[in-house]
C-alpha cells in the first residue's frame, strides 16, 4: 500500500466574521496550535496574543493568552471566519478534514498569530494591514515578534512533506521565510492568483476545497 504524503494547507483568516458564540465553548490548549509547538514556541505565541489583546483593548483571559476565564463569546475558527475563501468550505469539508490522517489546515490570524481550525476564538475586527501605531501595522508587529519562525516551527513539527501556501496580500511577508528556511525537508507550493482581483478568494477557496476532499 502506498503511504500518503502528509500535507499542510496554510490559509489566512478573513476580515468578515460571524458574530456571537457557541454556548459552553471555552478555549482549550488541546485544540490549539500551542499544543503543536514546543513549550518555548507555544509560550511565545500566547505571550504575543496577550500583548496584542491588551493593546487592542480586548478583555484579558485564557482565550487570548492571558490568565483566568472571562465570558467572551467564542466560536471555532473555521466557523467564525466568513470570507469568500471560507464560504467555499462547508461543514462537510471540515468534517472530512477532521477525520483525515494526512491532511491538515493552519490559519494565520491577525490577532491570534497561528490557529488550528478547531481553536475557539473571539470575534475581532482588525486585519493584518491595520496600523496599531502611526508607523507599525499588525503584519509588521507580528514580523517583529517572530511569527515567521513560529510558522516554520509548526510546519517542521507537523511532519508534513508538502505545504500549500495560500497566504496573500499583507500575509505574504509572514510566509516568505518558508521558502528559504525549510530546505529539502518540506516542499512548499505557493499559490498565487494574479489578475483575479476580488475573485481571487473564490478561486483560492475552491482550490483549498479540492485539496481537502481529494482521496
For 195-207, write each residue's pLDDT tens digit: 887 788 999 999 9
pLDDT at 1: 43
Which residues span the domain enclosing 130?
Answer: 7-213
Is pTM beyond 0.85? Reply is yes
Domain presence at residue 140: yes
Give how many domains the chain has, as a whole number: 1
Region 153-175 average pLDDT: 90
- Percent of the chain scored above 70 by pLDDT? 96
Q: What is the pLDDT of residues 70-109, one digit of tens each?
A: 789 999 999 999 999 999 999 999 999 999 889 999 999 9
Domain presence at residue 51: yes
pLDDT at 197: 79
Domain presence at residue 1: no
SS (H, E, C) the chain: CCCCCCEEEEEECCCCECCCCCCCCCCCHHHCHHHHCCHHHHHHHHHHHHHHHHHHCCCCCHHHCCCCCCCCCCEEHHHHECCCCHHHCCHHHHHHHHCCCCEEEEEEECCCEEECCCCEECCCCCCCCCEEECCEEHHHHHHHCCHHHHHHHHHHHHCCCEEEECCCHHHHHHHHHHHHHCCCCCEEEECCCCCCHHHHHHHHHHHHHHHHHCC
Domain presence at residue 2: no
What pLDDT band is residue 3 in, cutting at 50, 70 and 90? low
Domain presence at residue 156: yes
Domain presence at residue 205: yes
Q: What value does the mean pLDDT of the chain take? A: 90
Work out whether the CA dihedral 189, 153, 121, 110 comes out positive or negative: negative
Q: What is the pLDDT of residues 42-81, one digit of tens each?
A: 999 999 999 999 999 999 999 999 887 778 999 999 999 9
Amino acid at each position: 500500500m502506498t503511504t500518503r504524503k502528509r500535507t499542510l494547507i496554510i490559509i489566512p483568516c478573513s476580515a468578515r466574521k460571524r458574530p456571537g458564540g457557541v454556548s459552553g465553548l471555552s478555549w482549550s490548549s488541546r485544540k490549539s496550535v500551542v499544543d503543536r509547538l514546543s513549550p518555548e514556541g507555544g509560550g511565545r505565541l500566547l505571550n504575543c496574543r496577550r500583548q496584542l489583546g491588551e493593546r487592542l483593548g480586548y478583555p484579558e483571559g485564557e482565550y487570548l493568552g492571558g490568565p483566568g476565564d472571562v465570558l467572551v463569546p467564542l466560536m471555532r475558527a473555521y466557523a467564525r471566519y466568513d470570507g469568500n475563501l471560507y464560504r467555499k468550505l462547508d461543514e462537510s469539508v471540515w468534517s472530512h478534514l477532521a477525520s483525515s490522517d494526512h491532511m491538515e489546515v493552519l490559519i494565520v490570524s491577525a490577532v491570534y498569530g497561528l490557529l488550528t481550525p478547531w481553536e475557539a476564538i473571539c470575534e475581532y475586527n482588525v486585519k493584518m494591514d491595520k496600523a496599531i501605531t502611526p508607523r507599525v501595522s499588525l503584519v509588521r508587529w507580528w514580523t517583529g515578534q517572530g511569527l515567521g519562525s513560529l510558522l516554520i516551527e509548526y510546519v517542521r513539527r507537523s511532519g508534513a512533506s508538502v505545504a500549500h501556501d495560500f497566504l496573500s496580500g499583507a500575509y505574504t511577508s509572514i510566509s516568505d521565510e518558508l521558502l528559504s528556511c525549510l530546505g529539502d525537508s518540506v516542499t512548499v507550493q505557493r499559490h498565487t492568483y494574479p489578475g483575479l482581483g476580488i475573485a481571487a478568494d473564490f478561486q483560492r477557496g475552491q482550490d483549498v476545497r479540492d485539496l481537502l476532499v481529494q482521496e
